[in-house]
A and B are shown apart, each in its own frame.
Chain A
Amino acid sequence: GNSVTQMEGPVTLSEEAFLTINCTYTATGYPSLFWYVQYPGEGLQLLLKATKADDKGSNKGFEATYRKETTSFHLEKGSVQVSDSAVYFCARGDNTNAGKSTFGDGTTLTVKP
């Protein structure tokens, strides 16, 4: 079936460390891929997206590349900050008229000074 699998957390890093959160998906066709971020006590907000193979989404220093051959969309950031502490969700569009998406279980990132 269609699913999204992301790296289990929690992830704890020191400030300025390199971040990778892995995400793989299963799907037919070429779905849109997303990373959402949820800060404590808030709703999710779109961090970045990619709509076709080899596209790179980027925002706020975060990047993810749509890899069709490995069905992956790993999130990376070269130097994390304390303010990046949040829960990160990978998601895949379901290619339906209803605009639904399938979400991973979320990865909690804590960045320590």
Chain B
Amino acid sequence: SQTIHQWPATLVQPVGSPLSLECTVEGTSNPNLYWYRQAAGRGLQLLFYSVGIGQISSEVPQNLSASRPQDRQFILSSKKLLLSDSGFYLCAWTGQRTDTQYFGPGTRLTVL
């Protein structure tokens, strides 16, 4: 069966510090991968998606970047965090012929 992992689960970082969040998927090949942000009490904002290794599409211009160095690994990064980067970050995947999304457990980021 397929599983999706995210780490860390929680993170508290000072403004201006770098960020690296990791997402990995097991049990499937060539998934589509997504990063979402969910602000407190709000809906989902799609940040990035990837249909293959090294292929990244950005949905919203911002302080973040994404990379996909391996087929089942998706990384969200920032060189300098802003207060507004605080939120709950969710990684998700879909298969190549389906649009059902499978979400990871999320990372709660607090920028102080």
Cβ-defined contact, A100 with B103, below 8 A: no
Other-chain contact of A42, B42, B57, B105 (Cβ < 8 Å): B105
**Contact yes or no, A44 B99, CB < 8 A:** no
Contacts of A100 in B (CB 8 A): 32, 34, 46, 49, 99
A45 and chain B: residue at smallest CB distance: B103
Q: With A and B bound together, what is the CA distance between A42 and B92 in angstroms?
A: 13
Q: Size class of A's contact patch?
A: 20 to 34
- Asked whether B28 is an interface residue with its Cβ less than 8 Å from the other chain, the reply is no
| Contact A99 B101, CB 8 Å, known A42-B106, A43-B90, A44-B90 | yes
Set of chain B residues within 8 Å of A84, measured between Cβ atoms: none
**How far is A34 from B108 in the complex, measured between Cα atoms in Å?**
25
Task: Kindly supply a per-residue 1/0 record for chain A positions 8-50, scoring 1 wherever the CB is within 8 Å of any chain B CB and 0 otherwise.
Answer: 0000000000000000000000001010100001111110010
**With a CB–CB cut-off of 8 A, which chain A residues contact B101?**
34, 36, 44, 46, 91, 99, 101
* A contact residues around B42 at 8 Å (CB): 105-106
Q: A63 on the interface (CB 8 Å rule)?
A: no
Residues of chain A at the chain B interface (Cβ within 8 Å) = 32, 34, 36, 41-46, 49, 89, 91, 93-95, 97-101, 103-106, 108
A94 to B99, CA, bound (A): 8
CA distance A99 to B50 in the complex (A): 10
Pairwise interchain contact B43-A89, C-beta atoms closer than 8 A: yes
Distance in angstroms between the alpha carbons of A57 and B95 in the assembled complex = 20
Partner of B99, one of A36, A89, A93: A93
**Which residues from A are CB-within-8-Å of B106?**
41-43
Name the 5 nearest CB pairs between A and B, nearest first: A99-B94, A43-B103, A105-B43, A93-B99, A99-B32
B100 within 8 A of A: yes
Is B43's CB under 8 angstroms from A104's CB?
yes
> CA of A100 to CA of B98 in the docked complex: distance in angstroms?
10
User: Hey, which chain A residues are within 8 Å of B96, CB to CB?
Assistant: 99
B10 CB to nearest A CB, Å: 10
Complex contacts, A32 vs chain B, CB 8 Å: 99-100
